[in-house]
């Protein structure tokens, strides 16, 4: 047995006991049924580890490590893109949003699909035709390689780190909520697994892990939706059932508060299928839409996938497959979310996780027969395991993207000036993978308990404001040059981050304290009303009031905690009492700024070489002349 096999076995030996050890902490799965969860988890880990073991034998050169030797087919890559893209946020998050907010949650999902039109029309094929391993390879084609590789790599590492942190923290919380494993242990388990895939199997294993995950995700969703339809009917009947569902009506009444008083139950139900329950600021939605539609094309881990196929035609095919899978998935999510709103109900969903992330898993449990049945728990365990695979697959893609920027762009390109042997390149890639992986685990643990939801939005903001303008203009604008790329990368990144730092995403102690004070002040009156309900003798009313009392206790405890926590501070991390910039999503401002920076930078810098190389780049990106052939090795 060689060294590599031993290491893979060692990684498995480390992970399996972690996930199969008996735990006392509470999760969505009852202790009695945890063995079901662990069996499903172990099966998925076993299969992906076997794939890694096989893949490890095929990874010999840098091209194998970064791009699977360019030998991935369009269909395979389409599934892998879906697996790379459908993060836990979109799988669990959007179903959750729909289950709690109805129509607005569904509207939110649209931008995630439309984003791929940009990728398909202007990015995928040109990048395949002139690119090699990384985003900076495209930028370096006709610009000063050293300079653009440095700014390109920094931007790639920044975007990937934001995204990675959100995934690690989100993943840790998710696994903890689902099966009760400690947060730190789940972060380490995710980290070690992902490291094993990338380190040994490079892009070959990463691709297959992403394909397996996407197939599992789609299968699970189809099964759940068929079960939902069998209970609530297909399209028209289904929507009628949503409108007439008492849980849905109660949820809308709760959101509307006093405004719901004059509405009939059917009217309340209808509102669930209408806009503006959730999104109050249309400008913010448009800003987010811009970040999605332009940012996806600038996400390094997505761009990297186009280097794994042999030709532009296969790259095109892969985006079309990805759009079919991703779009189909979001349509299914509509039924999952609405199904969860009826079958489980918003209060129960938010009881486990206020953001709604548990909607799909709880729906699975309920459809299988509930928390006391084998089938119910098997289905919950299966969805939980799919969610876990989801996180690991996305994280693997991100780590590979960041490691390639570090090893291929910074080390090989800048420090060694391309004077390296093939073996040295692979070694550098593996060392960078370990560095990024260790960093991801450390950040994941350090960021415990932080609100990281806005980090995904931030990753998209930087990708759309820095990476996208630079890649687009170097491909399509003759005068674009090194000066423009440097200016675009720096200004795009800084403006996106700076705007988020002064936006409502940050915590403003003054506002938090004011809200907390209101809860504390209102406590006494609410308590009296609830006590009256309990004493009223009406059993149903009393039960409801007892539950509400529990929620009130929790809210008051949290409010008191907040008041104590921010006792001595009045300003945010940036020293602000209130947000300077009103939008949560900076795209509306930072994307035009990024483009402007590329234009101005290019015009001021003047670079004859970039213009001389234009014919070559433009002809190649359009025709694919000299594009690297598949299986070049």
Partner 1 sequence: MAQASQLNWAAIDADPRFQRLHAQKLAFLMGLMIFSIVYYFLLPIGAAYFTDLFKKQIFGPVNFGLLFALSEFIVAWGIAFYYAVKAKDFDEMAKELVREAEKIGRK
How is the chain split among helix, strand and coil, in percent rounded to 5?
A: 80, 0, 20
Candidates 19, 92, 319, 392; binder of partner 1 (CB under 8 A) is: 319
Q: What gap in Å lies between CA 313 and CA 73, rounded to an integer?
A: 10
571 contributes a contact to partner 1 by CB under 8 A? no
Q: Which is nearer to partner 1, 332 or 456 (CB)?
A: 332
- Specify the 3-state DSSP secondary structure of 536: coil
Q: Which of residues 420-449 bind partner 1 (CB under 8 A)?
A: none
Q: What gap in Å lies between CA 492 and CA 591, rounded to an integer?
A: 7
Q: What gap in Å lies between CA 410 and CA 7, rounded to an integer?
A: 27
Q: Which is nearer to partner 1, 110 or 226 (CB)?
A: 110
- Specify the 3-state DSSP secondary structure of 22: coil
> What does each C-alpha distance from 416 to 151, 412, 428 come to in angstroms?
17, 5, 11
105 contributes a contact to partner 1 by CB under 8 A? no
Candidates 21, 609, 623, 633; binder of partner 1 (CB under 8 A) is: 623
Candidates 106, 163, 200, 378; binder of partner 1 (CB under 8 A) is: 106
Q: Which is nearer to partner 1, 339 or 368 (CB)?
A: 339
Q: What's the min distance (Å) between Cβ of 258 and partner 1?
A: 20
**Are residues 467 and 488 in contact, defined by beta-carbon separation less than 8 angstroms?**
no
- Spatial CB neighbours of 495, under 8 Å, sequence gap ≥ 6: 465, 586, 589, 590, 593, 594
Q: What gap in Å lies between CA 95 and CA 92, rounded to an integer?
A: 5
Candidates 10, 222, 226, 276; binder of partner 1 (CB under 8 A) is: 276
118 contributes a contact to partner 1 by CB under 8 A? yes
Candidates 5, 561, 615, 633; binder of partner 1 (CB under 8 A) is: 615
**Are residues 362 and 157 in contact, defined by beta-carbon separation less than 8 angstroms?**
no
Stretch that binds partner 1, among 253-261, 311-319, 375-383, 529-537 (CB under 8 A): 311-319
Q: What gap in Å lies between CA 37 and CA 388, rounded to an integer?
A: 11
Q: Which is nearer to partner 1, 37 or 241 (CB)?
A: 241
Tokens of 223: 């099964």
**Are residues 84 and 301 in contact, defined by beta-carbon separation less than 8 angstroms?**
yes
- The binding track of 213-242 with respect to partner 1, each residue x by CB under 8 A or -, is -----------------------x--xx-x
Q: What gap in Å lies between CA 514 and CA 519, rounded to an integer?
A: 9
- Spatial CB neighbours of 114, under 8 Å, sequence gap ≥ 6: 292, 293
Q: Which of residues 505-564 bind partner 1 (CB under 8 A)?
A: none
Q: Which is nearer to partner 1, 117 or 256 (CB)?
A: 117
| Nearest to 462, CA basis, from 492, 500, 491 | 492
Candidates 25, 324, 438, 532; binder of partner 1 (CB under 8 A) is: 324
316 contributes a contact to partner 1 by CB under 8 A? yes
Q: Which is nearer to partner 1, 288 or 597 (CB)?
A: 288
630 contributes a contact to partner 1 by CB under 8 A? no
Q: Which residue has the tokens 């006494």?
A: 524
Q: What's the min distance (Å) between Cβ of 474 and partner 1?
A: 16
Q: What gap in Å lies between CA 33 and CA 161, rounded to an integer?
A: 36
622 contributes a contact to partner 1 by CB under 8 A? yes
- For 578-615, the three-class secondary structure string (H helix, E strand, C coil) is CCCCCCCCCHHHHHHHHHHHHHHHHHHHCCHHHHHCHH
Distance of CA 401 to the CA centre of its chain: 15
624 contributes a contact to partner 1 by CB under 8 A? yes
Candidates 41, 183, 306, 330; binder of partner 1 (CB under 8 A) is: 330
331 contributes a contact to partner 1 by CB under 8 A? yes
Quote the longest CA-to-CA distance of the chain: 87
Candidates 66, 101, 116, 605; binder of partner 1 (CB under 8 A) is: 116
Q: Which is nearer to partner 1, 165 or 621 (CB)?
A: 621
Stretch that binds partner 1, among 410-418, 537-545, 594-602, 613-621 (CB under 8 A): 613-621
117 contributes a contact to partner 1 by CB under 8 A? yes
- Specify the 3-state DSSP secondary structure of 505: coil
Neighbouring C-beta atoms of residue 500, cutoff 10 Å: 24
Stretch that binds partner 1, among 254-262, 286-294, 371-379, 507-515 (CB under 8 A): 286-294
Candidates 104, 245, 409, 607; binder of partner 1 (CB under 8 A) is: 104
Half-sphere exposure of 1 (CA within 13 A, CB side): 8
Q: What's the min distance (Å) between Cβ of 323 and partner 1?
A: 5
Residue 613 DSSP code = T
Q: What gap in Å lies between CA 12 and CA 185, rounded to an integer?
A: 15
Give the containing element (helix H, strand E) for 239: helix 235-244
Candidates 49, 120, 304, 420; binder of partner 1 (CB under 8 A) is: 120
Q: Which is nearer to partner 1, 285 or 404 (CB)?
A: 285
Stretch that binds partner 1, among 85-93, 215-223, 315-323, 522-530 (CB under 8 A): 315-323
- Specify the 3-state DSSP secondary structure of 329: helix
Candidates 21, 121, 226, 604; binder of partner 1 (CB under 8 A) is: 121
618 contributes a contact to partner 1 by CB under 8 A? yes
Candidates 185, 260, 273, 512; binder of partner 1 (CB under 8 A) is: 273
Q: What's the min distance (Å) between Cβ of 314 and partner 1?
A: 12
Q: What's the min distance (Å) between Cβ of 235 and partner 1?
A: 8
Q: What gap in Å lies between CA 540 and CA 549, rounded to an integer?
A: 14
Q: How many helices (H) and strands (E) does the chain have?
A: 29, 0
Residue 234 DSSP code = S
Q: What's the min distance (Å) between Cβ of 516 and partner 1?
A: 31
Stretch that binds partner 1, among 31-39, 156-164, 275-283, 398-406 (CB under 8 A): 275-283
Stretch that binds partner 1, among 33-41, 266-274, 525-533, 586-594 (CB under 8 A): 266-274
Where do contacts with partner 1 occur on this chain (CB under 8 A)? 103-104, 106-107, 110-111, 113-114, 116-118, 120-122, 236, 239-240, 242-243, 270, 273-276, 279, 282, 285-286, 289, 293, 313, 316-317, 319-320, 323-324, 327, 330-331, 615-616, 618-620, 622-626
């Amino acid at each position: 047995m060689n060294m590599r096999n031993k290491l893979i076995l060692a990684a498995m030996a480390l992970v399996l006991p972690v996930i199969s050890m008996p735990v006392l902490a509470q999760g969505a799965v009852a202790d009695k049924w945890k063995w079901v969860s662990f069996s499903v988890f172990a099966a998925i880990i076993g299969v992906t580890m076997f794939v890694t073991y096989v893949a490890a034998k095929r990874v010999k050169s840098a091209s194998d490590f970064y791009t699977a030797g360019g030998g991935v087919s369009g269909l395979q890559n389409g599934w892998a893109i879906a697996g790379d893209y459908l993060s836990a946020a979109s799988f669990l998050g959007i179903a959750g949003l729909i289950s709690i907010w109805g129509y607005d949650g569904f509207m939110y999902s649209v931008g995630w699909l439309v984003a791929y039109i940009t990728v398909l029309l202007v990015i995928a094929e040109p990048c395949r035709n002139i690119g090699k391993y990384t985003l900076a390879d495209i930028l370096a084609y006709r610009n000063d390689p050293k300079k653009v590789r440095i700014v390109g790599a920094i931007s790639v590492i920044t975007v990937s780190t934001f995204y990675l942190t959100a995934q690690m923290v989100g993943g840790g919380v998710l696994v903890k909520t689902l099966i009760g494993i400690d947060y730190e242990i789940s972060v380490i388990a995710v980290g070690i697994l992902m490291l094993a895939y990338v380190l040994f199997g490079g892009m070959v294993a990463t691709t297959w892990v992403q394909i397996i995950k996407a197939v599992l995700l789609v299968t699970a969703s189809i099964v759940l939706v068929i079960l939902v339809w069998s209970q609530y009917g297909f399209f028209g009947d289904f929507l009628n059932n949503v409108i007439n569902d008492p849980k849905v009506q109660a949820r809308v009444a709760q959101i509307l508060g006093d405004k719901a008083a004059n509405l009939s139950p059917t009217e309340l139900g209808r509102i669930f299928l209408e806009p503006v329950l959730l999104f109050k600021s249309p400008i913010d939605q448009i800003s987010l839409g811009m970040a999605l539609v332009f940012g996806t094309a600038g996400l390094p881990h997505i761009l990297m996938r186009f280097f794994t196929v042999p030709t532009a035609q296969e790259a095109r095919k892969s985006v079309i497959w990805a759009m079919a899978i991703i779009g189909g998935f979001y349509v299914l999510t509509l039924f999952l979310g609405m199904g969860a709103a009826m079958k489980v109900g918003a209060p129960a969903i938010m009881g486990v996780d206020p953001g709604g992330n548990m909607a799909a898993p709880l729906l699975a449990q309920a459809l299988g027969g509930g928390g006391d049945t084998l089938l119910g728990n098997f289905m919950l365990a299966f969805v939980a395991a799919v969610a876990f695979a989801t996180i690991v697959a996305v994280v693997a893609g991100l780590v590979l993207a960041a490691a390639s920027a570090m090893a291929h762009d910074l080390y090989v390109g800048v420090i060694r000036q391309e004077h390296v042997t093939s073996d040295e390149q692979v070694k550098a890639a593996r060392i960078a993978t370990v560095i990024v992986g260790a960093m991801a685990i450390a950040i994941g643990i350090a960021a415990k308990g932080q609100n990281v939801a806005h980090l995904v939005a931030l990753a998209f903001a930087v990708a759309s404001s820095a990476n996208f303008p630079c890649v687009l203009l170097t491909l399509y604008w003759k005068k674009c040059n090194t000066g423009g790329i440097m200016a675009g990368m720096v200004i795009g990144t800084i403006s996106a981050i700076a705007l988020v730092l002064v936006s409502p995403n940050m915590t403003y102690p003054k506002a938090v304290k004011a809200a907390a004070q209101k809860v504390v002040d209102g406590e006494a009156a609410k308590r009296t009303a609830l006590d009256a309900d309990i004493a009223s003798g009406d059993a149903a009313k009393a039960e409801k009031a007892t539950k509400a009392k529990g929620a009130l206790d929790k809210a008051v405890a949290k409010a008191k905690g907040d008041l104590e926590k921010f006792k001595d501070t009045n300003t945010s991390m940036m020293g602000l009492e209130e947000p300077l910039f009103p939008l949560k999503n900076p795209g509306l401002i930072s994307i035009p700024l990024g483009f402007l920076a590329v234009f101005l930078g290019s015009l001021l810098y003047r670079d004859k070489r970039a213009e001389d190389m234009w014919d070559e780049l433009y002809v190649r990106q359009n025709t694919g002349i000299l594009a690297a052939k598949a299986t070049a090795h």
